[in-house]
Amino acid sequence: MREKRYVQEGIGSSYLFRVDHDTIIDATKCGNLARFINHCCTPNCYAKVITIEAQKKIVIYSKQPIGVNEEITYDYKFPIEDTKIPCLCRTESCRGTLN
C-alpha cells in the first residue's frame, strides 16, 4: 500500500527493504545513509538481517576490501516481476534488470 501511495505522491525512489514475509522496513522518509546504497549485480557488500534484542536490523557487510571513495553496493535481490526495473550498474555481469 505504501509503495503505491509513494508512486501516487511522486516519490520516485523506493527505500523499502523486506526483512521477512511479514516485515518491511520503510526508510523513505527517515533512515540513515545506508538507504542510499545502490544496487550492483557485482556488489562489494551484502545485506543481512540480524536480530538484536528481539529487533530485526539490516546490516551491510563488505565482501572485500573497499577503497576510499569506492562506491558501496549490494545486490537488492528484488523478486522477479513482469514490470522490469532497469539496472544501471554497468558491470560485465550485469543482469540488465533489478527484478
Interface with Zn ion (CB under 5 A): 41, 87, 89, 94
* Cell numbers representing residue 71 in the block: 562506491
- Rounded Cα distance between 94 and 88, Å, is 8
By beta-carbon proximity to Zn ion, the closer residue of 11 and 94 is: 94
- Rounded Cα distance between 74 and 41, Å, is 8
By beta-carbon proximity to Zn ion, the closer residue of 6 and 89 is: 89
Task: Compute the least distance from the CB of residue 63 to Zn ion, in Å.
Answer: 16
Q: What are phi and psi of 5, to 5 degrees?
A: -65, -40
By beta-carbon proximity to Zn ion, the closer residue of 11 and 47 is: 47
Task: Compute the least distance from the CB of residue 83 to Zn ion, in Å.
Answer: 17
